[in-house]
Structure 1
Amino acid sequence: MVTGGAGFIGSALVRHLLTETQHEVFNVDKLTYAGNLESLAPVAASPRYRFLQADICDRAAMDEALRDFQPDAVMHLAAESHVDRSIDGPSAFIQTNIVGTYSLLESVRAYWLGLDQERKAAFRFHHISTDEVYGDLHGADDLFTETTPYAPSSPYSASKAASDHLVRAWSRTYGLPVLLTNCSNNYGPYHFPEKLIPLMILNALDGKPLPVYGNGQQIRDWLFVEDHARALMEVVTRGKLGETYNIGGHNEQKNLDVVRAICALLEELAPEKPAGVARYEDLITYVQDRPGHDLRYAIDAGKIERELGWTPRETFETGLRKTVRWYLDNREWCRHVQDGSYQGERLGASA
């Protein structure tokens, strides 16, 4: 059972599960603005796939979903995840990320307690989180490890930190078999266009400004979303109960350099520019920095490599090229998100 499986990372995980494994998948998603069923079109017809539109805050709906599907593992990705939106309206982040995680934990605990001994021993609750719970790094060589103290900077990261603490508490207090992962910035196909990389690609193709916060020197570790989906499968199937695994791409990049790399790829792959644009890079515009903006994130992913043998397959260069090419080849998906028509799907969504 995957919560938030119509979101960016969740849909990549669902596609991976259905194309690369034999697992049955039950996708539970509220279908907020970030949930897009079109991202699941390649696998939606699979006989091993089911979908339910429901809110993780709805305890009765979660109880019924668990009873109905009888999962061996729950992978919890449902979350509000955009920092800017959390600054403008933190309430939804508190409700979904904290209250929703609490409600889901209680549903899962009741379900787990009702399993027979064999299934109870095999069950896993995998909570997927973010490196933003750690705050930011100041030393050029510092890295986040699984024991880095939490120091969240935004309402989003604070709400995710709270959800991490709840999951660990339900493990310690009630014995719930849990696993946690904290990942770096994801990118790749089907990414919602308000995020940095797809926003820059689509704005450039439309001849619109490419807004860069502050001086663009903020550093992020970039993880190709399909690499992340592989890592999540390694953790949920082979990870040690109660442990946390950091998942990173080994790809630290300054935001400004990311935007310039996108512009360079577009010069090669989409040389016919909008009217009045001589170079894509000329569209770069510096805007006021966001409040509390963390300067640098970087993950030490040594533990998951040592214990589970996972390393990313994509470099930033290969992953970014695949991403830019996907957006060029899937303009209809982008248009449906930009004009809001993708949201019409949810009207008929059901189990």
Structure 2
Amino acid sequence: MDEFAETSRLDLAEVDRTLALFPTRLDSRDRVQLHAELRTEADGPPRLRAIIENQGDHPRPVILGDLPFEGPNRPVSAFAGGTATGENHSLWLLPTENHAFFEHPVPVERASSGVWRATDHPNQGWAETPRQIMVDPGERVVLEYHLLVGPDEDRLLPGRYRFRGFPGGETRIPRFDAMLAIWETSAPGPSPDGDSRFAGTTFPPVPLADETAWFHDATPETPVYLRPSTERAQLPAAIEFTLVNRGNRTLFGNQTRWVLYELVDGVWESRSHHTLVDVGSPLWPGDAQRWRLRARADTVLPCDPDRPAEPSVGDLAPGTYAFWVEYSPESCHDGFGAVVELVE
């Protein structure tokens, strides 16, 4: 079975940005591995280095155009369809001098803002990359790129950017997408403009949890938080909850493990919960996990086991509720919660 590994993180102090790339490793069934990492060098733009390695005993074909860092269209770019500022933005990957198949890297320059960008829209030299390569046993093929904004840009906007893989013919590395998350290093948490309606409120502890990190206590400096799409909704309602990890550690949890509590006489009482027998999954730095709660006053059908992140809860009365999930570093039993008010 193909296995994915976690995150590569890079802080760019000169522009107050943190970059997190994930996943960073794919191990295929026949022992061809793709490993990627972010890196930087003195007085130069950030770099993304991908290494293809054949750890097997026989030569294996790899179609470069299937990889998210190569792709069929050049230059390869990652598009954020709506960044943290609400703007559309894209990033480019342009080969460095360390790319196995490029002898003439594209020139780059540094804008007055400190952001690195391409000097022109490159459209030459892409034929240098072969469509397919054979990787011998023990061989390592290095593909390295500058990570840049476009020629007319001078900002590195926070957001989540996707480098798309493209499934092709007989290749030894299956299709996968690579994500790049970017945020302000000094302010990884919620925007100060979106103050919680429950800010300053103290709620009782959640049953069975060692500690709960509440969204209404989060500040712009808080690296991990569970953000609700709204803190007040009229029944019936659909509310999204997003667990954002911008910390230094990988969190572990079970997407199917969630609890909806109601505040009754100063105590949290469970109104619905869900847990499937599952080994759980990691939440890497830069990644996010989403749930979509459908809350109704009337009776609803049981939750669809094939859609554990879209719970439906019925027979709810107006009141104060908390959506709680358990994600924490290894060996801990911490959770994250967000309070919402449901009204008629």
Structure richer in helix, relative to its length: 1
TM range (shorter): under 0.3
Q: Choose between structure 1 and 2: higher strand proportion.
A: 2
Give the TM-score, by structure 2 length.
Answer: 0.26
**Bigger RCO (CA 8 Å, 6+ sep):** 1
TM-score by length of 1: 0.26
Which has more radius of gyration?
A: 2
